[in-house]
Amino acid sequence: MELKDKLITSFVAFEQGLKGEHDGLHDIRLEALKTFEDKGFPTKKDEAWKYTSLNSILKNEFRVLQKEETAIEYKEVKKYFLSDSDTYKLVFINGVFSSHLSSTTHDGLDVCLMSSAFTKPKYKMVIDAFYNNTADKSDSLTALNTAFATEGAFINVPKSKVVAKPIEIIYLSTVEDKALLVQPRNLIVVGENAHVQIVERHQSLNDAVVFTNAVTEIVAHKRAIVDFYKLQNDKENANLVDNTYVTQKQESRVSVHTFSFGGKLTRNNLNFYQDGERIDSTLKGITLISDKQHVDHYTLVSHNQPNCESHQNYKGIYDGNSTGVFNGKIYVDKIAQKTDGFQQNNNILLSEKATIYAKPQLEIFADDVKCSHGCTIGQLNEDAMFYMRQRGIPKKEAKALLMYAFTDEVMESVKVPELKAKIAKVIAGKLGVSMGFEI
Amino acid sequence: MLQIKNLHASVEDKEILKGINLEVKAGEVHAIMGPNGAGKSTLSSVITGNEAFEVTEGEIILEGEELNELGPEERAHKGVFLSFQYPVEIPGVSVTNFMKTAINESRKAQGLEEMPANEMLKKIKEKAELLEIDRKFLSRSLNEGFSGGEKKRNEIFQMAMLEPKLAILDETDSGLDIDALRIVANGVNKLKSKDNAVVLITHYQRLLDYIVPDYVHVLYDGKIVMTGGKELALELEEKGYDWIKASLEK
C-alpha cells in the first residue's frame, strides 16, 4: 500500500489511541487529514517542489505508528548534545519522549511536552490561542503532521523571563527493521520581553531510512528575543522536511540559523510572518554538502506591517554530486511602508557535478521600501588559494580556511559559544582538516 | 642559495620565459628590472610554484634541491617567500589568524610543535612595530579594504613573521607613497642578513635608492639580456627601456 493510503486508513485507529486531548483537537486533526487526503505528498509538478522529489523516500516500507519507549544510554548519544549539564533538554527517541535523557522544567517557564500541552487543562488556553495558528493549514505536509502529531517540544516562556541556559531539542531514531516516519510537533511561545535560545537537531543512530516531517510553530510576543538554531548533520539515510512557522509581534527579534551538513534529503520550509511594527527577522544558513546530498531552503518573509526589517543570508558549499536549492521569497504588503528587506545567497560549487538552483522572489506592494537581494555562484578562488599556499598553508587547509571564511557572515551571529565551537568543529571535519578555526 | 638554469615557462601554451639563467647567493640583493610584459611577474610566480604556469624546460634549485615538482606550500616551507604585486583579499580571515595558521602549518611540516600563544603574540607585536602597523589593523580581514600602501606593508609584515631564506618582492614599491616606501624599505633592510637573499622585481629605479642591490638584471622578452651593478638601474632610468631594445637590435 502506498504511504499516503496507509496513513489515511490508519487514522481512525491512531485517534482511538489518543487519551484525554482538549476539545477541538479532534476537529483540527480531521480537517488536516482532509487537506492531506486532497493534496497528497508534494511532487515536482508543484512549483514549490520543482527541484526536490520525495519519490525515492516514499517508496520505502514505513512504520507509521510508534508507541513504545526505547532505552538508550546517555554515553551513547552524549556527543550529540551541546554540553553535559548546562542546558534544558528535550530528547525524543523514535518520536517518543525519553525522560531519562531529558532535563525539563516548570520552574519559572515550561520546557515540557506537546503531549502534556494537548491534555493538561492548564495549557488549554495556550493551545487554543496558538496551536496550528501560525502553521500554513493548506500545506499538505504540515497538514499531515497536524493530523498525526502526538509529541514534541512545548516551550512556554512567560513575560520578561530571560532563560539563562539554552534549550536543546533532540530527535533520535533507532528503528532498524523498517523505514521510520516521525512527525515531531513543536510549539514555542515566548512572552513579552522574554528571551530564549533553542538548539534543535534530528539524529538517526543507525542506517535505516528515516523520514522526519517536523512542524515547529514559534510565537514571539512584543519585544521578545528568540534565537533558534537548527543543526542538520544527520546520517546518509536520513531525510528531513522541516516546516517552521514564526509569528512575530511588535519590536520582537527572532533569528533562525540553519546548518545543513548531513542527511540525504533536507527541505527547510521557513516562514516568517511579521505582525507588528519595528520587528527584526533574521534567517541565516550554511549548507555544506557532498556526494548525492540534497538541501533545499524555501524561505518566506511576509512583511505585513510598516517599519520592519528582515535579514537573510545563506551560504552554500556544494561538492560531489550534491544539489542545493535556495528559493527566498520576500513579500511586502501595501501597508508595510519603510520595510527594509535584505537577502543574500552565496554559493560555491567545488565540483563540476554539483548543482545549485537559486531563486530570489520579491513581491512588493508598498512604494516606500528598501529591498535588496544578491545571489552569487562561484568556484574556489584560485588566486586566494595560491596566496595562502605561498604562505605555507597546505592546499586542503587553505581550502578549509577559505570555506570557513566564506561562512563568516553566518557564523558571526551565532550567540551560543559551545554551539559555535561545535559547528566550527563539524565544518573542519567535513572539510577533512583537523585545524581549529579562530572563532 | 637560488639557481635558475635555462628556465622556460608558458601560460596557456604561450611561452613567457624563454631561457632564464640566474644565480643568487646568500647575503645578496638582486634587482630584476624590465618593461611591462617582459616576464617579471611570471618569473616570481614560477619560482614560487603557481600552478597557473607550466615549466616546460629548465630547473629551479634552492640550496641544492630542485623545486620544480614541489607545490607552493612546500616551497614556502623551504623558505621561499613572495611579496605579491596584487595581494589577494580574503574576507573573514584576520591578519593575525592568517599568520598564526601560516606559521603553525610551516612548523607542522617541519615536525615542530605549534608556536606557543605568548611567543606568537610577542613576535606579532615586535614585527608589527617594525613595519609601524597599528594593532587594530591586525584584526581586520586580510587585505580587505586595505589601501595599496597598507597591502604592501602587510606583505612585508608577513615576510618579517615568516623569516624566509629567499624573499621575492614583486613590484613592492608600486602604490606606495614616499613615507610608506621608507617604512617598507627599512623593514626589508632590517630583515636582510648574510644568510638570506632578496630578489626585487621592479619597473622603476626608485625602490633601489632605499634597498641597494648588489646586482641588477634586465629582463626583456623572457630572457635576462643584461646584468650589472646598481649603476645599471640608474642608466636604465635615464635612457629608458627603448635603449635596451635598441642595443639588442644592434
DSSP H or E segment with residue B5: strand B2-11
Contact A389 B71 (CB under 8 A): yes
CA distance B75 to chain A (A): 8
Three-state SS string over chain A comes to CCHHHHHHHHHHHHHHCCCCCCCCHHHHHHHHHHHHHHHCCCCCCCHHHCCCCCHHHHCCCEECCCCCCCCCCHHHHHHHCCCCCCCEEEEEECCEECHHHCECECCCCEEEEHHHHHHCHHHHHHHHHHCCCCCCCCCHHHHHHHHHCCCCEEEEECCCCECCCCEEEEEEECCCCCEEEECCEEEEEECCCCEEEEEEEEEECCCCCEEEEEEEEEEECCCCEEEEEEEECCCCCEEEEEEEEEEEECCCEEEEEEEECCCCEEEEEEEEEEECCCCEEEEEEEEEECCCCEEEEEEEEEECCCCCEEEEEEEEEECCCCEEEEEEEEEECCCCCCCEEEEEEEEEECCCCCEEEEEEEEEECCCCCEEEEEEEEECCCHHHHHHHHHCCCCHHHHHHHHHHHHCHHHHCCCCCHHHHHHHHHHHHHHCCCCCCCCC
Q: Is there a contact between A315 and A409 (Cβ–Cβ < 8 Å)?
A: yes
Q: Which residue of B has its CA nearest to A385?
A: B88
Q: How many residue pairs from chains A and B have C-beta atoms closer than 8 A?
A: 78
pLDDT for A70 equals: 76
Q: Which residues of B touch A393 (CB under 8 A)?
A: 73, 101-102, 105
Q: Which residues on chain B are in Cβ contact (under 8 Å) with A392?
A: 73, 76-77, 102-103, 105-106, 109, 162
For the stretch A388-406, pLDDT in tens is: 999 999 999 999 999 988 9
Residue in A382, A390, A393 nearest the CB of B101 = A393
- Between CA A148 and CA A182 the distance in angstroms is 10
Residues of chain A short of pLDDT 70, as ranges, are 65-68, 84-85, 435-439
Give the ipTM.
0.96
The order of strands in the sheet holding A167-173 is: A96-97, A88-93, A167-173, A195-204, A225-232, A253-260, A280-289, A309-318, A340-349, A370-378
Contact (CB<8Å) B92/A406 = yes
Tell me the pTM: 0.89
CA distance B246 to chain A (A): 37
Nearest Cα of chain A lies from the Cα of B121 at a distance, in angstroms, of 15
Of the partner residues B51, B76, B97, the one whose CB lies closest to the CB of residue A438: B97
Sign of the torsion angle spanned by Cα atoms A259, A261, A262, A267 = positive
pLDDT band per the 50, 70, 90 thresholds, residue B244: confident
How far CA B50 is from CA of A83, B7, B41, in Å, comes to 45, 15, 11
Of all residues in chain A, the one with the smallest CA distance to B91 is A405
Residues in chain B within 8 Å Cβ distance of A399: none
Q: Do B76 and A392 touch (CB under 8 A)?
A: yes
Nearest to B72 among A389, A401, A406 (CB): A389
Interface test mutation site (partner B, options A387, A395, A403, max chain B beta carbons within 10 A):
A387
> What average pLDDT is seen over chain B?
92
Find all residues with CB under 8 Å of A393, minimum gap 6, and list them: A401, B73, B101, B102, B105
Cβ-Cβ contacts under 8 Å, B105 against chain A? 392-394, 397
Contacts of B49 in chain A (CB under 8 A): 389-390
Q: Is A286 on the interface with B (CB under 8 A)?
A: no
Q: With an 8 Å Cβ cutoff, are A405 and B92 in contact?
A: yes
Domain chopping of chain B, boundaries: 2-249
Q: Taking CB atoms and an 8 Å limit, are B105 and A393 in contact across chains?
A: yes
Residue type, A431: L
Cell of B131: 613595519
Contacts of B84 in chain A (CB under 8 A): 387, 390
Minimal Cβ distance to A394: which of B82, B84, B105 = B105
Give the type of residue at A343.
Q
Residue of chain B minimizing CA distance to A395: B73
Overall size of chain A counted in residues: 439
Whether B73 sits inside 8 A of A383 (CB atoms) is no
Return residues 334-353 of A near B (CB < 8 Å): none
**pLDDT, tens digit, for every residue of B13-45?**
899 999 999 999 999 999 999 888 889 999 999
Give me the mean pLDDT over the B125-137 stretch.
91
Q: What is the CATH number of domain B2-249?
A: 3.40.50.300
